[in-house]
Amino acid sequence: MKVMTRGPGRDRLPRSILAFFYFYFFLHWVTSMLMFWEKLGFSYRGVVRYYVGDPEFFMQPRSFLGLLEVTHFHLFAMGIFFVVFSHLLLFTSWPETVKQLLIFMLAFSLIGEIASGWLIRYLADGFAWLKLFSFWTLQGASLILFVGLTAGLFRSSGRDDPQLKI
């Protein structure tokens, strides 16, 4: 419980667990980029095509059930992602304004990621910009967290202070 409230400190096992978590997260980050590229592309038109379909490419619109299944899974997974990374961010010595900015970037980009598919499919193509903005904001904030938390984990290895010094 001490690790959950004060950070890993110098204890090797909690630090190893965090190091592996960061490694797995980095792999997740890379595969997210690849999946987005392969499924939607990084263009407005590609995002619209993915959600509303395109007869020229024999693509059907995303179904209600398909969107619901993706939303159901992502609400849980992204909720856990948000809580874990926000929690780890609390152990950093970053200024409060930076912490707040990253937390809000994560929160709103996650909401945008989930909502934008529905908005594109059922309201207007223009929400593809929200999808792209949310995706890139999430990827950017996640990368900042990954780099900062990983650096802090290794930088604080010889100190008695249980806080991650980033």
Q: What residue spans define the domains of the chain?
A: 9-155
Q: 127-147, pLDDT tens digit by residue?
A: 999 999 999 999 999 999 999
Which residues fall within 8 angstroms of residue 87, CB to CB, at 6 or more apart?
A: 4
Buried b (16+ CB within 10 A) or exposed e, 78-104: beebbeebeebbebbebeeeeeeebbe
DSSP 8-state symbol, 43:
S
Mean pLDDT of 144-158: 80
Q: What secondary structure does DSSP assign to 125-156, as a single string? A: GGGHHHHHHHHHHHHHHHHHHHHHHHHHHHHT
Per-residue confidence at 56, pLDDT binned at 50, 70, 90? confident
Which residues fall within 8 angstroms of residue 117, CB to CB, at 6 or more apart?
A: 51, 62, 67, 70, 71, 131
Which residues fall within 8 angstroms of residue 165, CB to CB, at 6 or more apart?
A: 92, 93, 152, 155, 156, 159
pLDDT at 9: 63
Tokens of 153: 């984990």
Which residues fall within 8 angstroms of residue 40, CB to CB, at 6 or more apart?
A: 46, 47, 50, 131
Interior angle at CA 143, CA 140 and CA 148, nearest 5: 125
Q: 65-105, pLDDT tens digit by residue?
A: 999 999 999 999 999 999 999 998 988 889 999 999 999 99
Give me the phi and psi of 15, to 5 degrees please: -65, -40
pLDDT at 151: 87
